[in-house]
Structure 1
Amino acid sequence: MMNENVKIVELNAENWYECCTLEISMEQQKYIEPNAISIAQSKFEPSLKPYAIYFEEKVVGFLMYNSVQEELDGYWIYRIMVDKDFQGKGIGKAATKLMISKMATLPNFKHIVVGYHPENVGAHKLYASLGFIDEGHRFGKEMAVVKHITV
Protein backbone atom coordinates (compact mmCIF):
# COMPACT_ATOMS: atom_id res chain seq x y z
CA MET A 1 0.00 0.00 0.00
CA MET A 2 1.47 3.30 -1.03
CA ASN A 3 0.84 6.27 1.29
CA GLU A 4 0.44 8.63 -1.66
CA ASN A 5 -2.83 6.80 -2.50
CA VAL A 6 -4.32 7.93 0.84
CA LYS A 7 -5.62 11.42 1.50
CA ILE A 8 -7.96 13.07 3.97
CA VAL A 9 -10.55 15.60 2.85
CA GLU A 10 -12.64 17.81 5.10
CA LEU A 11 -16.18 16.49 5.36
CA ASN A 12 -18.41 18.21 2.80
CA ALA A 13 -21.64 17.92 0.84
CA GLU A 14 -20.03 15.44 -1.58
CA ASN A 15 -18.57 12.94 0.91
CA TRP A 16 -20.59 13.00 4.15
CA TYR A 17 -23.17 10.45 3.04
CA GLU A 18 -20.51 8.03 1.82
CA CYS A 19 -18.93 8.24 5.27
CA CYS A 20 -22.28 7.29 6.79
CA THR A 21 -22.50 4.14 4.65
CA LEU A 22 -19.08 2.76 5.61
CA GLU A 23 -19.09 -0.39 7.72
CA ILE A 24 -16.89 -1.97 10.35
CA SER A 25 -16.81 -5.60 11.38
CA MET A 26 -19.36 -6.93 13.86
CA GLU A 27 -16.56 -7.34 16.41
CA GLN A 28 -15.56 -3.67 16.10
CA GLN A 29 -19.10 -2.33 16.52
CA LYS A 30 -18.88 -2.53 20.30
CA TYR A 31 -15.91 -0.14 20.25
CA ILE A 32 -16.98 2.71 17.97
CA GLU A 33 -20.01 4.89 17.35
CA PRO A 34 -21.51 4.99 13.84
CA ASN A 35 -20.06 7.73 11.63
CA ALA A 36 -23.48 9.41 11.41
CA ILE A 37 -23.35 10.01 15.18
CA SER A 38 -19.88 11.54 14.91
CA ILE A 39 -20.95 13.74 12.01
CA ALA A 40 -23.97 14.97 13.96
CA GLN A 41 -21.76 15.63 16.99
CA SER A 42 -19.43 17.76 14.85
CA LYS A 43 -22.36 20.00 13.86
CA PHE A 44 -23.06 20.82 17.52
CA GLU A 45 -19.43 21.01 18.62
CA PRO A 46 -17.71 23.23 16.04
CA SER A 47 -14.24 22.55 17.44
CA LEU A 48 -14.53 18.96 16.12
CA LYS A 49 -12.98 18.55 12.68
CA PRO A 50 -14.41 15.64 10.63
CA TYR A 51 -12.65 14.24 7.55
CA ALA A 52 -13.29 11.57 4.96
CA ILE A 53 -10.43 9.16 4.28
CA TYR A 54 -9.86 8.47 0.60
CA PHE A 55 -7.92 5.61 -0.96
CA GLU A 56 -7.41 5.87 -4.70
CA GLU A 57 -10.17 8.52 -4.94
CA LYS A 58 -12.74 6.36 -3.08
CA VAL A 59 -14.12 7.20 0.39
CA VAL A 60 -12.99 4.32 2.62
CA GLY A 61 -12.91 5.82 6.10
CA PHE A 62 -13.70 8.59 8.51
CA LEU A 63 -11.76 10.47 11.16
CA MET A 64 -12.36 13.37 13.50
CA TYR A 65 -10.27 15.35 15.98
CA ASN A 66 -10.83 18.24 18.37
CA SER A 67 -9.16 21.54 17.52
CA VAL A 68 -9.16 22.71 21.14
CA GLN A 69 -7.16 21.21 23.98
CA GLU A 70 -8.92 18.99 26.47
CA GLU A 71 -7.94 16.62 29.26
CA LEU A 72 -4.23 15.92 29.71
CA ASP A 73 -3.51 19.26 27.98
CA GLY A 74 -3.77 17.54 24.64
CA TYR A 75 -5.64 17.61 21.40
CA TRP A 76 -7.88 14.55 21.21
CA ILE A 77 -8.50 12.23 18.30
CA TYR A 78 -12.21 11.42 18.46
CA ARG A 79 -12.68 8.88 15.67
CA ILE A 80 -10.72 6.87 13.18
CA MET A 81 -12.37 4.14 11.20
CA VAL A 82 -11.66 2.35 7.95
CA ASP A 83 -14.33 0.35 6.13
CA LYS A 84 -14.06 -3.39 6.82
CA ASP A 85 -13.25 -4.10 3.14
CA PHE A 86 -10.21 -1.80 3.25
CA GLN A 87 -8.69 -2.71 6.62
CA GLY A 88 -5.24 -4.25 6.91
CA LYS A 89 -3.78 -2.21 4.04
CA GLY A 90 -2.11 0.56 6.09
CA ILE A 91 -4.81 3.09 5.21
CA GLY A 92 -5.67 3.90 8.83
CA LYS A 93 -2.03 4.46 9.71
CA ALA A 94 -1.42 6.66 6.67
CA ALA A 95 -4.58 8.69 7.37
CA THR A 96 -3.62 9.10 11.04
CA LYS A 97 -0.23 10.47 10.01
CA LEU A 98 -1.95 12.96 7.70
CA MET A 99 -4.30 13.95 10.53
CA ILE A 100 -1.36 14.48 12.91
CA SER A 101 0.21 16.78 10.30
CA LYS A 102 -2.98 18.87 10.24
CA MET A 103 -3.14 18.87 14.05
CA ALA A 104 0.48 20.08 14.21
CA THR A 105 -0.69 23.52 13.03
CA LEU A 106 -2.84 23.98 16.16
CA PRO A 107 -1.61 26.39 18.87
CA ASN A 108 0.54 25.00 21.71
CA PHE A 109 0.67 21.59 20.00
CA LYS A 110 2.54 19.31 22.43
CA HIS A 111 0.34 16.25 23.06
CA ILE A 112 -2.15 14.18 21.11
CA VAL A 113 -4.47 11.93 23.09
CA VAL A 114 -6.80 9.19 21.96
CA GLY A 115 -9.13 7.05 24.05
CA TYR A 116 -10.26 3.55 23.19
CA HIS A 117 -11.53 0.40 24.85
CA PRO A 118 -8.64 -1.69 26.24
CA GLU A 119 -9.86 -4.78 24.37
CA ASN A 120 -9.71 -3.02 21.00
CA VAL A 121 -6.55 -4.74 19.77
CA GLY A 122 -6.61 -3.05 16.35
CA ALA A 123 -6.65 0.42 17.88
CA HIS A 124 -3.90 -0.52 20.31
CA LYS A 125 -1.63 -1.77 17.52
CA LEU A 126 -2.27 1.30 15.36
CA TYR A 127 -1.56 3.85 18.08
CA ALA A 128 1.43 1.99 19.51
CA SER A 129 2.97 1.85 16.01
CA LEU A 130 2.63 5.65 15.80
CA GLY A 131 4.36 6.30 19.13
CA PHE A 132 1.38 6.68 21.46
CA ILE A 133 2.20 5.59 25.02
CA ASP A 134 -0.06 4.16 27.72
CA GLU A 135 0.72 6.26 30.79
CA GLY A 136 -2.11 4.74 32.83
CA HIS A 137 -4.81 7.33 32.05
CA ARG A 138 -8.35 5.97 32.23
CA PHE A 139 -11.64 7.71 31.45
CA GLY A 140 -14.61 5.53 32.25
CA LYS A 141 -14.33 2.31 30.26
CA GLU A 142 -11.62 3.71 27.99
CA MET A 143 -7.89 3.98 28.27
CA ALA A 144 -6.20 7.10 26.93
CA VAL A 145 -2.82 6.93 25.23
CA VAL A 146 -0.62 9.96 24.59
CA LYS A 147 1.81 10.97 21.88
CA HIS A 148 4.24 13.63 23.03
CA ILE A 149 5.34 15.95 20.25
CA THR A 150 8.91 17.15 20.24
CA VAL A 151 9.96 19.99 17.98
Structure 2
Amino acid sequence: MNKDKMIDCIETERLVLFPYTQDNLSLFNSDLPRFEAEFGVVYRGEELDYLLAGFLKKLEREIAADPDNYLFFTEFLIVLKANSHIIGSIDYKYVPVKGVTEVGYGLNPVYEGHGYMSEALTAFLEFGRKAGIRIVRADTRRDNVKSQNVLKRCGFYYLREADNLWWETVLADVRLSPVTEANWLAAASLSVKEEQKTFVAPAIGILARGYVYRDCSAKVYVIEADGKPVGMVLVREFTDEPLGYDLQQFMIDADCQGRGFGSAALAMILDELRREARYDHVEVCVKRADTSAIRLYEKFGFTDSGYVDEDVPDAVNMICRLF
Protein backbone atom coordinates (compact mmCIF):
# COMPACT_ATOMS: atom_id res chain seq x y z
CA MET A 1 0.00 0.00 0.00
CA ASN A 2 1.41 3.38 -1.02
CA LYS A 3 0.10 5.50 1.86
CA ASP A 4 2.36 8.42 0.93
CA LYS A 5 0.20 8.91 -2.18
CA MET A 6 -3.09 8.78 -0.26
CA ILE A 7 -4.13 12.38 0.37
CA ASP A 8 -6.28 13.13 3.45
CA CYS A 9 -6.46 9.49 4.56
CA ILE A 10 -7.65 8.40 8.03
CA GLU A 11 -5.74 5.61 9.75
CA THR A 12 -6.91 3.16 12.43
CA GLU A 13 -5.26 0.11 13.97
CA ARG A 14 -6.27 -2.19 11.10
CA LEU A 15 -7.56 0.11 8.39
CA VAL A 16 -6.79 3.07 6.18
CA LEU A 17 -9.72 5.21 4.98
CA PHE A 18 -8.62 6.58 1.65
CA PRO A 19 -10.77 9.33 0.00
CA TYR A 20 -11.48 9.68 -3.66
CA THR A 21 -10.07 12.93 -5.03
CA GLN A 22 -10.88 14.25 -8.47
CA ASP A 23 -7.62 12.85 -9.85
CA ASN A 24 -7.61 9.41 -8.27
CA LEU A 25 -11.31 8.89 -8.95
CA SER A 26 -10.78 9.80 -12.59
CA LEU A 27 -8.07 7.14 -12.69
CA PHE A 28 -10.29 4.61 -10.89
CA ASN A 29 -13.15 5.22 -13.33
CA SER A 30 -10.96 4.97 -16.41
CA ASP A 31 -8.36 2.34 -15.52
CA LEU A 32 -8.86 0.27 -12.35
CA PRO A 33 -5.73 -1.92 -12.79
CA ARG A 34 -3.58 1.20 -13.08
CA PHE A 35 -5.31 2.68 -10.02
CA GLU A 36 -4.50 -0.48 -8.06
CA ALA A 37 -0.87 -0.38 -9.18
CA GLU A 38 -0.52 3.34 -8.42
CA PHE A 39 -1.73 3.02 -4.83
CA GLY A 40 -0.63 -0.54 -4.10
CA VAL A 41 -4.14 -1.81 -3.38
CA VAL A 42 -6.46 -4.54 -4.65
CA TYR A 43 -10.13 -3.74 -5.12
CA ARG A 44 -12.37 -6.18 -3.22
CA GLY A 45 -15.09 -3.72 -2.32
CA GLU A 46 -18.71 -3.47 -3.35
CA GLU A 47 -19.61 -4.91 -6.73
CA LEU A 48 -18.84 -2.44 -9.51
CA ASP A 49 -22.18 -2.79 -11.25
CA TYR A 50 -23.64 -0.13 -13.54
CA LEU A 51 -25.32 1.66 -10.63
CA LEU A 52 -22.10 2.09 -8.65
CA ALA A 53 -20.16 2.94 -11.82
CA GLY A 54 -22.70 5.64 -12.65
CA PHE A 55 -22.56 6.99 -9.11
CA LEU A 56 -18.75 7.24 -9.22
CA LYS A 57 -18.79 9.12 -12.53
CA LYS A 58 -21.31 11.53 -11.04
CA LEU A 59 -19.17 11.87 -7.90
CA GLU A 60 -16.16 12.75 -10.05
CA ARG A 61 -18.10 15.67 -11.54
CA GLU A 62 -19.33 16.80 -8.11
CA ILE A 63 -15.79 16.85 -6.69
CA ALA A 64 -14.65 18.93 -9.66
CA ALA A 65 -17.49 21.39 -9.00
CA ASP A 66 -16.76 21.78 -5.26
CA PRO A 67 -13.15 20.79 -4.48
CA ASP A 68 -13.02 22.80 -1.24
CA ASN A 69 -15.73 20.67 0.39
CA TYR A 70 -15.08 17.32 -1.24
CA LEU A 71 -14.26 15.53 2.03
CA PHE A 72 -17.86 16.09 3.14
CA PHE A 73 -19.34 14.08 0.28
CA THR A 74 -16.65 11.95 -1.35
CA GLU A 75 -16.34 8.24 -0.69
CA PHE A 76 -13.53 6.96 1.50
CA LEU A 77 -12.29 3.54 0.46
CA ILE A 78 -11.76 1.19 3.40
CA VAL A 79 -8.38 -0.51 2.95
CA LEU A 80 -7.32 -3.46 5.10
CA LYS A 81 -3.71 -2.97 6.20
CA ALA A 82 -3.02 -6.70 6.46
CA ASN A 83 -3.31 -7.32 2.72
CA SER A 84 -3.98 -3.88 1.11
CA HIS A 85 -7.42 -5.04 -0.02
CA ILE A 86 -10.14 -2.44 -0.51
CA ILE A 87 -13.00 -4.07 1.39
CA GLY A 88 -15.67 -1.37 1.39
CA SER A 89 -16.38 2.35 1.53
CA ILE A 90 -17.84 5.02 3.79
CA ASP A 91 -18.99 8.59 3.16
CA TYR A 92 -20.90 11.59 4.38
CA LYS A 93 -23.74 12.14 1.96
CA TYR A 94 -23.63 15.92 1.73
CA VAL A 95 -21.95 19.04 3.06
CA PRO A 96 -23.33 19.60 6.60
CA VAL A 97 -26.37 21.86 6.90
CA LYS A 98 -26.23 23.67 10.26
CA GLY A 99 -23.82 20.98 11.41
CA VAL A 100 -26.06 18.07 10.38
CA THR A 101 -25.32 15.42 7.75
CA GLU A 102 -25.86 11.72 6.98
CA VAL A 103 -23.44 8.82 6.76
CA GLY A 104 -23.51 5.81 4.46
CA TYR A 105 -21.28 2.77 4.18
CA GLY A 106 -20.90 -0.61 2.53
CA LEU A 107 -18.71 -3.67 3.07
CA ASN A 108 -17.94 -6.75 1.02
CA PRO A 109 -19.87 -9.52 2.87
CA VAL A 110 -16.73 -11.67 2.86
CA TYR A 111 -15.22 -9.29 5.42
CA GLU A 112 -18.21 -9.05 7.75
CA GLY A 113 -18.01 -10.25 11.33
CA HIS A 114 -14.58 -8.84 12.15
CA GLY A 115 -15.58 -5.38 13.43
CA TYR A 116 -14.08 -3.58 10.44
CA MET A 117 -17.11 -1.38 9.80
CA SER A 118 -17.46 -0.38 13.45
CA GLU A 119 -13.76 0.52 13.47
CA ALA A 120 -14.10 2.53 10.26
CA LEU A 121 -17.25 4.34 11.39
CA THR A 122 -15.77 5.25 14.78
CA ALA A 123 -12.77 6.87 13.10
CA PHE A 124 -14.95 8.53 10.48
CA LEU A 125 -17.18 10.10 13.13
CA GLU A 126 -14.12 11.46 14.94
CA PHE A 127 -12.93 12.98 11.68
CA GLY A 128 -16.37 14.56 11.26
CA ARG A 129 -16.36 15.92 14.81
CA LYS A 130 -13.00 17.62 14.24
CA ALA A 131 -14.34 19.04 10.96
CA GLY A 132 -17.26 20.70 12.76
CA ILE A 133 -20.06 18.19 12.18
CA ARG A 134 -22.41 18.10 15.19
CA ILE A 135 -25.10 15.57 14.30
CA VAL A 136 -24.88 12.53 12.02
CA ARG A 137 -27.89 10.52 10.85
CA ALA A 138 -28.14 7.19 9.07
CA ASP A 139 -30.90 4.97 7.72
CA THR A 140 -31.12 1.20 7.55
CA ARG A 141 -33.62 -1.28 6.22
CA ARG A 142 -35.76 -2.82 8.93
CA ASP A 143 -34.23 -6.25 8.23
CA ASN A 144 -30.60 -5.05 8.17
CA VAL A 145 -29.79 -6.00 11.74
CA LYS A 146 -26.03 -6.10 11.10
CA SER A 147 -25.97 -2.45 10.06
CA GLN A 148 -28.18 -1.49 12.99
CA ASN A 149 -25.76 -3.18 15.38
CA VAL A 150 -22.85 -1.27 13.83
CA LEU A 151 -24.68 2.00 14.43
CA LYS A 152 -25.53 1.08 18.02
CA ARG A 153 -21.92 0.15 18.76
CA CYS A 154 -20.85 3.55 17.43
CA GLY A 155 -23.24 5.50 19.67
CA PHE A 156 -26.24 5.97 17.38
CA TYR A 157 -29.73 5.85 18.86
CA TYR A 158 -32.99 5.03 17.12
CA LEU A 159 -34.73 8.13 15.79
CA ARG A 160 -37.86 7.18 13.84
CA GLU A 161 -39.29 4.99 11.10
CA ALA A 162 -40.03 6.53 7.70
CA ASP A 163 -39.75 3.90 4.96
CA ASN A 164 -36.44 2.86 6.55
CA LEU A 165 -35.30 3.04 10.17
CA TRP A 166 -33.49 6.28 10.97
CA TRP A 167 -30.69 6.67 13.51
CA GLU A 168 -28.78 9.63 14.93
CA THR A 169 -25.70 10.41 16.98
CA VAL A 170 -24.36 13.64 18.46
CA LEU A 171 -20.64 14.20 17.98
CA ALA A 172 -19.99 15.37 21.50
CA ASP A 173 -19.39 13.53 24.75
CA VAL A 174 -22.94 13.87 26.13
CA ARG A 175 -23.43 12.45 29.63
CA LEU A 176 -25.95 12.39 32.44
CA SER A 177 -24.11 13.40 35.61
CA PRO A 178 -25.39 13.56 39.18
CA VAL A 179 -25.60 16.93 40.87
CA THR A 180 -22.40 17.45 42.84
CA GLU A 181 -20.61 20.14 44.79
CA ALA A 182 -18.48 20.69 41.70
CA ASN A 183 -21.26 21.25 39.14
CA TRP A 184 -24.35 22.54 40.92
CA LEU A 185 -23.49 26.24 40.59
CA ALA A 186 -22.92 25.92 36.85
CA ALA A 187 -26.14 23.93 36.54
CA ALA A 188 -28.06 26.55 38.52
CA SER A 189 -26.99 29.23 36.03
CA LEU A 190 -28.61 27.45 33.06
CA SER A 191 -31.65 29.10 31.50
CA VAL A 192 -34.00 28.47 28.60
CA LYS A 193 -35.12 31.06 26.06
CA GLU A 194 -37.43 33.81 27.27
CA GLU A 195 -40.45 32.38 25.44
CA GLN A 196 -39.81 28.95 27.01
CA LYS A 197 -39.77 30.06 30.63
CA THR A 198 -43.40 29.10 31.21
CA PHE A 199 -42.65 25.52 30.10
CA VAL A 200 -40.16 24.49 32.81
CA ALA A 201 -39.07 25.65 36.24
CA PRO A 202 -35.93 27.79 36.56
CA ALA A 203 -32.76 25.79 37.07
CA ILE A 204 -32.57 26.46 40.79
CA GLY A 205 -36.19 25.31 41.05
CA ILE A 206 -35.34 22.01 39.35
CA LEU A 207 -32.59 21.44 41.90
CA ALA A 208 -35.06 22.21 44.70
CA ARG A 209 -37.62 19.75 43.28
CA GLY A 210 -35.02 17.02 43.50
CA TYR A 211 -34.97 17.60 47.25
CA VAL A 212 -38.73 18.01 47.63
CA TYR A 213 -39.41 14.74 45.78
CA ARG A 214 -36.68 12.79 47.58
CA ASP A 215 -39.29 10.38 49.00
CA CYS A 216 -40.26 9.56 45.39
CA SER A 217 -36.72 8.43 44.51
CA ALA A 218 -36.18 11.68 42.62
CA LYS A 219 -32.97 12.08 40.65
CA VAL A 220 -31.79 15.31 39.08
CA TYR A 221 -29.29 14.82 36.28
CA VAL A 222 -27.02 17.49 34.88
CA ILE A 223 -26.73 17.03 31.12
CA GLU A 224 -23.11 17.62 30.14
CA ALA A 225 -21.55 17.94 26.69
CA ASP A 226 -17.76 17.68 26.56
CA GLY A 227 -17.70 18.25 30.31
CA LYS A 228 -19.80 21.43 30.23
CA PRO A 229 -23.31 21.59 31.77
CA VAL A 230 -25.86 22.22 29.00
CA GLY A 231 -29.12 21.15 30.62
CA MET A 232 -30.97 19.39 33.42
CA VAL A 233 -33.73 16.85 33.89
CA LEU A 234 -35.59 15.33 36.82
CA VAL A 235 -36.87 11.75 37.02
CA ARG A 236 -38.98 10.49 39.92
CA GLU A 237 -41.35 7.63 40.66
CA PHE A 238 -45.10 7.95 41.04
CA THR A 239 -46.37 6.99 44.49
CA ASP A 240 -49.98 6.52 43.32
CA GLU A 241 -51.36 3.88 40.99
CA PRO A 242 -50.56 3.27 38.23
CA LEU A 243 -46.94 3.21 39.35
CA GLY A 244 -44.33 4.32 36.86
CA TYR A 245 -41.63 6.86 36.13
CA ASP A 246 -42.32 10.58 35.88
CA LEU A 247 -39.99 12.60 33.65
CA GLN A 248 -40.17 16.34 34.22
CA GLN A 249 -38.31 19.64 34.02
CA PHE A 250 -36.30 18.57 30.98
CA MET A 251 -34.42 21.65 29.81
CA ILE A 252 -31.51 22.57 27.55
CA ASP A 253 -29.79 25.92 28.01
CA ALA A 254 -30.78 28.58 25.47
CA ASP A 255 -27.25 28.82 24.08
CA CYS A 256 -27.00 25.05 23.60
CA GLN A 257 -30.27 24.25 21.84
CA GLY A 258 -30.42 22.87 18.32
CA ARG A 259 -27.26 20.76 18.69
CA GLY A 260 -28.88 17.39 19.40
CA PHE A 261 -28.09 17.41 23.12
CA GLY A 262 -31.75 16.96 24.05
CA SER A 263 -32.13 13.92 21.80
CA ALA A 264 -28.92 12.37 23.08
CA ALA A 265 -29.89 12.95 26.71
CA LEU A 266 -33.42 11.59 26.28
CA ALA A 267 -32.04 8.44 24.64
CA MET A 268 -29.73 7.96 27.63
CA ILE A 269 -32.53 8.53 30.13
CA LEU A 270 -34.76 5.93 28.48
CA ASP A 271 -31.87 3.46 28.31
CA GLU A 272 -31.17 4.01 32.00
CA LEU A 273 -34.82 3.41 32.93
CA ARG A 274 -34.91 0.25 30.82
CA ARG A 275 -31.82 -1.06 32.62
CA GLU A 276 -33.33 -0.22 36.00
CA ALA A 277 -36.60 -1.90 34.92
CA ARG A 278 -38.64 -1.04 38.01
CA TYR A 279 -41.62 0.01 35.88
CA ASP A 280 -42.77 -0.60 32.33
CA HIS A 281 -43.53 2.98 31.36
CA VAL A 282 -42.53 6.62 31.79
CA GLU A 283 -44.82 9.65 31.63
CA VAL A 284 -44.20 13.30 30.92
CA CYS A 285 -46.50 16.32 31.15
CA VAL A 286 -45.81 18.89 28.41
CA LYS A 287 -47.41 22.26 27.77
CA ARG A 288 -49.31 22.09 24.47
CA ALA A 289 -47.60 25.28 23.36
CA ASP A 290 -44.20 23.59 23.70
CA THR A 291 -44.38 22.01 20.25
CA SER A 292 -40.63 21.41 20.00
CA ALA A 293 -40.67 19.28 23.15
CA ILE A 294 -43.74 17.37 21.97
CA ARG A 295 -42.01 16.53 18.68
CA LEU A 296 -38.92 15.37 20.57
CA TYR A 297 -40.94 13.05 22.79
CA GLU A 298 -42.91 11.70 19.82
CA LYS A 299 -39.62 10.93 18.09
CA PHE A 300 -38.78 8.59 20.97
CA GLY A 301 -42.13 6.81 21.04
CA PHE A 302 -44.15 8.93 23.47
CA THR A 303 -47.87 9.21 22.68
CA ASP A 304 -50.79 11.16 24.13
CA SER A 305 -52.19 9.11 27.02
CA GLY A 306 -55.53 10.91 26.86
CA TYR A 307 -55.32 11.89 30.52
CA VAL A 308 -55.91 15.56 31.34
CA ASP A 309 -54.67 16.90 34.67
CA GLU A 310 -57.18 19.42 36.02
CA ASP A 311 -54.33 21.42 37.53
CA VAL A 312 -52.64 21.87 34.13
CA PRO A 313 -55.40 21.82 31.49
CA ASP A 314 -53.07 23.46 28.95
CA ALA A 315 -50.76 20.44 29.00
CA VAL A 316 -50.73 17.04 27.32
CA ASN A 317 -49.81 13.92 29.26
CA MET A 318 -47.56 11.64 27.19
CA ILE A 319 -46.51 8.06 27.88
CA CYS A 320 -43.73 5.82 26.58
CA ARG A 321 -43.71 2.05 27.03
CA LEU A 322 -40.22 0.94 27.99
CA PHE A 323 -40.70 -2.73 27.09
Q: TM-score, normalised by structure 1?
A: 0.90
Letter in 1 for 2:320: K
Higher relative contact order (CA 8 A, sep 6+): 1
Change (3 A) 1:28 1:72: farther
Task: Name the CA distance, whole Å, in 2 between partners of 1:108 and 1:43.
Answer: 21
Task: Name the CA distance, whole Å, in 2 between partners of 1:71 and 1:123.
Answer: 26
1:108 deviation in Å?
3.5
Indicate the residue corresponding to 2:287 in structure 1: 117
Indicate the residue corresponding to 1:37 in structure 2: 205
Indicate the residue corresponding to 1:95 in structure 2: 265
Say whether the 8 Å CA contact 1:63–1:78 is kept in structure 2: yes
| 1:47-98 Cα deviation digits (max 9, x unpaired) | 1100110111111111110045556432010221111111011101100111
Superposed CA RMSD in Å reads 1.7
Letter in 2 for 1:30: T
1:132 aligns to 2:305 (yes or no): no
Indicate the residue corresponding to 1:147 in structure 2: 320
Q: Which moved more, 1:60-69 or 1:76-85?
A: 60-69
Q: Which runs of 5+ in 1 are unaligned?
A: none
Count of residues paired in the alignment: 150
Q: Which runs of 5+ in 2 are unaligned?
A: 1-133, 135-169
Task: Name the CA distance, whole Å, in 2 between partners of 1:48 and 1:15.
Answer: 18
SS in 2 for 1:144: strand
Change (3 A) 1:128 1:71: farther
Structure showing greater radius of gyration is 2
Q: TM-score, normalised by structure 2?
A: 0.44
Say whether the 8 Å CA contact 1:67–1:103 is kept in structure 2: no
Indicate the residue corresponding to 1:11 in structure 2: 179
Say whether the 8 Å CA contact 2:188–2:204 is kept in structure 1: yes
Change (3 A) 1:25 1:110: same
Task: Name the CA distance, whole Å, in 1 between partners of 2:316 and 2:264.
Answer: 23
The sequence identity of aligned pairs, in percent, is: 24
- Where do residues 44-123 of structure 1 align in structure 2 (5 Å cutoff)? 44-46=212-214, 47-68=217-238, 70=240, 72-123=242-293
Say whether the 8 Å CA contact 2:234–2:248 is kept in structure 1: yes
Say whether the 8 Å CA contact 2:237–2:244 is kept in structure 1: no
SS in 2 for 1:23: coil
SS in 2 for 1:128: helix
